[in-house]
A and B are shown apart, each in its own frame.
Chain A
Amino acid sequence: MTWDNTNLFADDKPADLAFRKEVREWMEKNVPLDLCHRPDRLTPADLKPWHRKLYDKGWVAPHWSKESGGMGATLTQQIILFEEMARLGVPTPFPHGLNFFGPILIEAGTPEQKAQHLPSILTGDCTWCQGYSESEAGSDLASLQATAVLKGDHFIVNGHKLWTTNGHHADWMFALVRTDPQAQPRHAGITMLLIDLKSPGITIEPIQTMRGDAEFAQEHFDNVRVPVKNMIGKINEGWKIANMVLGSERFTTGHPRNAAVLLNRTRMMAEISGAIVDPIFRHQLAQLEMDLLAFSAFYHHAAELHALGKAPMSMAPVIKISGGEIGQKASELLMHASGPIGLLRDNLQTPEGLVNIPADLFEMRRLTVGSGAVEIQRNVIAKRVLELGA
């Protein structure tokens, strides 16, 4: 019996099987081969033609309702689309417009805002970034200090935003800003604004990551005028709005396949380096494969409960912590298994295509920090699930 760690406990119903077949056939004909299995970081511009192709097929926004221009897909169908793209190693479109902001706009935007922004998110013509973090507001996001002061029909925005993925590539930012400095609790004084990044007064600097490329950026706002019509929801309701859509994207960003790919690469590199004959290495690999199996079981169990509307609150932090930490350990074992060749900075040509072991190692570091550090996720479980507190 063969062991396929990318497909553990997957169990399609007959209708889903038909959908998977359709997706697989289409993907095999249509994925852009030059984007597949790329070890370097791709920009929104690189992905635009692929984004557009998925849009033309009607599959770019599976989780959006049909009225909003999406596919109205079930969670299982969303997962199938992700899995079939991952199988071929083609990237999924950037999530900031489609997954993070789009659902907020659909839920809380005015008809004018929707008409202005939904179509260009769908086609990929407009690139979005998320303006939440600041230098003094990371894990403690509610302490953010960028201000917006209402002057007639405009807000005047001052301050800065940091760690903004694609900030230097984006056209628009959905940002959380402080509109009431005195508000208690602090999150009651926060508003969500949509900022056209071509507005006067904005400077944007890309930031190099430890991987050696610019994934994120910082933005300075100096008396930037933002029309009131670009506010989402009401003033001082930004915190509630930012938290209202906690959605199914956990099921793609947290898919166990991400770690499976790294473990399979680890196995391949161990065969090249010779580490595969080391019983201690094999034991370490087995431990991670077993963790991945358990995580896959949790993932499919969670998806089934989510589809029934019964997923518990703990689901999202558990997926975030487990998926992130298994992926990290896999990237560390990959480096270990590769031996001296793993230390080389340039891409390696392997039987499985180009790989870059340091890039994998460094890329995984962000999984346990970005969008809520795992320590904060553990605090959330301690307080809200285990009822431990002061």
Chain B
Amino acid sequence: MEPILNDLQTQLRDSAKRLCKDFGGAAVYRQRQQQGVTNAWQQVMQAGWTGLLVSEEHNGLGLGLYELALILDEAGQQLWHEPVAATCAGAYVLSKTKQSHHLKQVLEAGLMVLPVCVDVEDTYNNMQSAPVLQKSGDHWMLNGLVRFITFVNLESLLLISAIDEQGRRALVSLSAQAMGVLLTCHARLDDSLVSDIEFEDVKIQSQDILAWDDGAIQLIDDMQTILRVGISAQLLGLSHAALQMTLEHLRTRKQFGKPLSSFQALQHQCVNGYIDIELNRSLLYRTSMAWDKHQSHPAMMSALKARTSRSALAITRSAVQLHGAMGYTHEHNIGLYYKQAVVWAADQGNDVYHAQRFSALTLNAEPLA
């Protein structure tokens, strides 16, 4: 069902539709490996999206997660892959911690901010642990290794979830070009790049530790929420586009003298995908609005990520199947949706992890053993 929008939100969605069409799509996807940073980012910055969650008082748009979800739904439909949610999350934190110099760079010079928060509770995350801070005179030293971080480039600013030797949580801001930061890149199955980041005695000034303890935990949690809702919106958009493409195929492709769309078994596969998308769409809107109104429960984000991941995998799997042998080719675009679904379904925690997290957050009954 359609979202309920005011005029501003309608304009925002329309412009997102245009921009994502211009800068996204299958052709752009296919050139990912050659591109690096595209000139789309300039447009993203000019549209004000990087400051979407930053209050107007700090020169942002003062909007919410609901509006970000509207944009990223469009991005997902076009397989458009830019660190919008990441930078929105980063800019949000910079504004909350009064990092006005960096914030200005994000809003006016296109600085990308990347949360580096390995989720130590994620049972599928290769048992990663947070980098460690050690006090050294008047400053700190950071050591550790984090893996599979998306979108890292040398110009970006990292917001790192770290711990000190006593296990206190800290949020550290650090340029990716700082001495002792080593990046190793890997290509993924969707031709996107991820980086392993090694921190080797990286010098951290006290003023670059943005928050400690509960304050840090809250900000890290906010960033993870924004990233989870953001990628869920992309998964929803992707699912919608893959379903539409499949419906069009069923209407036009004929076998046994009639269109595939006349076969009930195929119709019902599509209907199941459609119902999943409809429920997830409402869940995306209601969850993001609840966060904007400070009425959300953290389990909601896990339900959203789990369901959008599971549906996107089911819908794109069915989409490839219903395209027959064509669906299995490199040439046909439907395969791109499948690959992207596999990657986004795993990013920010897969559906099984989020079901576990949901269960832990909602099931009050403690196990007896």
Contact = CB atoms under 8 A, between A and B. Distances in A.
A283 interface: yes
B368 A274 contact: yes
A301 B286 contact: yes
Closest 10 CB pairs of A and B: A382-B267, A286-B359, A388-B261, A297-B282, A297-B286, A3-B362, A301-B282, A298-B282, A294-B279, A290-B303
B365 A276 contact: yes
Interface stretch (B38-46, B64-72, B145-153, B292-300): B292-300
A312 B281 CA distance: 14
B251 A387 contact: yes
Given A304-B4, A311-B1, A294 B267 contact: no
Contact of A302 (B1, B262, B266): B1
Contacts of A283: 352, 355-356, 359
Given A293-B300, A297-B287, A388 B367 contact: no
A3 B364 contact: yes
A305 B297 contact: no
B285 A297 contact: yes
Given A283-B359, A379-B264, A297 B274 contact: no
Contacts, number: 138
Interface of B: 1-2, 4, 247, 250-251, 258-259, 261-262, 264, 266-268, 270-272, 274-275, 278-280, 282-283, 285-287, 290, 295, 297-300, 302-303, 306-307, 352, 355-356, 358-359, 361-365, 367-369
Nearest to A274: B368
Contacts of B247: 386-388
A300 to B, nearest CB: 7
Contacts of A287: 355
Given A276-B368, A295-B279, A386 B271 contact: yes
Contacts of A9: 286, 290
A294 B307 CA distance: 8
Interface of A: 1-3, 5, 9, 11, 267, 270-271, 274, 276-277, 282-283, 285-287, 289-291, 293-295, 297-298, 300-302, 304-305, 308, 310-312, 314-315, 318, 321-322, 375, 378-379, 381-382, 385-390
A381 B271 contact: yes
Given A1-B297, A386-B247, A388-B247, A305 B1 contact: yes
A301 B285 contact: yes
A388 B364 contact: no
B216 to A, nearest CB: 20
Contact of A298 (B250, B283, B287, B367): B283
